[in-house]
A and B are shown apart, each in its own frame.
Chain A
Amino acid sequence: MPAKTTPNDSPHRLVGKNYQTPDLVAKVTGRAKYAEDYRVDGMLFARLLLSPMAHARIRSIDASEALAMPGVKGILTADDLPAPADAITDQGVVIPANKLGDRGLTNEPMYQGEPILAVCAVDELTCAEAIEKIKIDYERLPHVVDPLVSLRPGGPNARVQGNVWMRPAAPPAEPGKPPLPPPPAQVAELKWTEEDFAAAKDGQMPMGKPAEEWSFGDWEAGLKSADLVLDETFVSPNTSHQPLETRTTMAYWQNGKVYVHTGTQSTAQTVPAIARWLGLLDEKKQPDLTKVVVISEYTGGGFGSKITGAISAVIPCLLSKKVGAPVMMRISREEEHFIGRARPSVHGRTRVGFTKDGRITAIDMYTICDNGSYDAQGDGMTAGRMASLMYQPPAMRMRGVSVITNTSPRVSQSQPGGFQGIVVMEPILSKAARKLGIDPVQIHKINSPEGKAEIGPPVRGKRPYITSSFIREALDRGQELFRWDARKAQVKRSGTKVRGIGVATSCFVGGSIGFDGLFVIKPDGKMYVQSGIGNLGTESVHDCNRVAAEMLGMPWDKVEIAWGSSTKNLPWACPSGGSQTTHAMTRAAYITATDAIQKLQQIAAKDLGGKPDDYVVANERVSRKGGGAGMSLAQAAKRAIELGGIYDGHELPKGINKMTATSATALAGQGLLAVARDTMPRDGLTHSFVAGFAEVEVDLETGKYFIKDYLAVADVGTVLHPHALGGQVLGRSVLGIGHALGQKWVYDQHYGIPLAKRFHHNRPPTILDVPSNMQWDAVNIPDPETPIGARGIGEPPVGAGCMAILNALSDALGDDVFRRAPVMADSILASLEAGHPMEEGLTAHI
Chain B
Amino acid sequence: MAIIRDIMPAFELFQPATVGDALGLLDQHGSDAWVLAGGLDSFDWLKDRIKRPKVVIDLSQIAELRGVKEVNGGLEIGAMTTLTEVVRNPIVKEKFSILATGAELAASPQIRNQGTIGGNVSQDARCWYYRGGWKCYRAGGNICFADTPTAVNREHAILHADRCVAVNPSDSAPALIALEAQMVIRNAKGERVVNAEDYFVGPAIDITHMTVLKPGDLLTAIRIPATWAGAQFYFEKVRDRQVWDFPLMNVASAMVVNGGNIEKIRVVINAAAATPLRLTAVEDAVRGQPRNTATGEMAGKLAIVGAEPLRYNGYKLPLMRNLVKRAISGVEEPKWA
Contact = CB atoms under 8 A, between A and B. Distances in A.
A833 B318 contact: yes
A738 to B, nearest CB: 10
A134 interface: yes
Contact of B4 (A131, A491, A759, A767): A131
Given A742-B240, A755-B132, A827-B315, A47 B7 contact: yes
A748 B151 contact: yes
B331 to A, nearest CB: 6
B159 interface: no
Interface string B1-32: 11111111110000000000000000000000
Contact of B240 (A129, A131, A824): A824
A702 B240 contact: no
A818 to B, nearest CB: 13
Contacts, number: 144
Contacts of B108: 766
A411 interface: no
A128 B248 contact: no
Interface residues of B, number: 50
Name the residue among A47, A751, A826 with the largest chain B CB count within 10 angstroms: A826
Contacts of B313: 826
A49 B4 contact: yes
B322 A701 contact: yes
A351 B149 CA distance: 33
Interface residues of A, number: 63
A50 interface: yes
B6 A829 contact: no
Interface string B149-172: 111101000000000000000000
B128 interface: yes
A136 interface: yes
Interface in A735-750: 741-742, 746-750
Contacts of B49: 128, 132
Interface stretch (A247-255, A264-272, A327-335): A327-335
Interface in B311-335: 312-316, 318-319, 322-323, 325-326, 331-335
Nearest to A49: B2
B4 A760 contact: no
B323 A702 contact: yes
A741 B243 CA distance: 13
Given A749-B150, A846-B152, A701 B245 contact: no
Interface in B97-132: 108, 128-129, 132
A48 to B, nearest CB: 8
A765 B243 CA distance: 9
A332 B319 contact: no
Contacts of B152: 746-748, 755, 845-846
Contacts of A753: 132
Interface in A718-762: 741-742, 746-751, 753, 755-757, 759-761
Contacts of B323: 701-702
A766 B323 CA distance: 25
Nearest to A829: B315
Contacts of A124: 7
B242 A47 contact: no
B246 interface: yes
Nearest to A704: B238
B311 to A, nearest CB: 9
Contacts of B314: 830, 838
A755 B2 CA distance: 19
A334 B49 CA distance: 14
A334 B7 contact: no
A333 B241 CA distance: 19
A829 B240 contact: no
Contacts of A136: 2
Interface stretch (A67-75, A493-501, A648-656): A493-501
A763 B239 CA distance: 11
Interface string B272-296: 0000000000000000000000000
A494 B244 contact: no
Given A703-B319, A829-B315, A846-B152, A768 B240 contact: no
A495 B7 contact: no
A761 B128 contact: yes
The 5 lowest CB-CB distance pairs between A and B, nearest first, are: A494-B334, A332-B6, A495-B332, A750-B150, A701-B322
Interface of B: 1-10, 49, 108, 128-129, 132, 145, 148-152, 154, 236, 238, 240-246, 248, 312-316, 318-319, 322-323, 325-326, 331-337
18 contacts: A49-B4, A125-B10, A132-B2, A490-B336, A494-B335, A499-B336, A697-B334, A701-B323, A701-B325, A701-B326, A702-B236, A703-B315, A751-B145, A753-B132, A763-B245, A766-B243, A830-B315, A833-B315
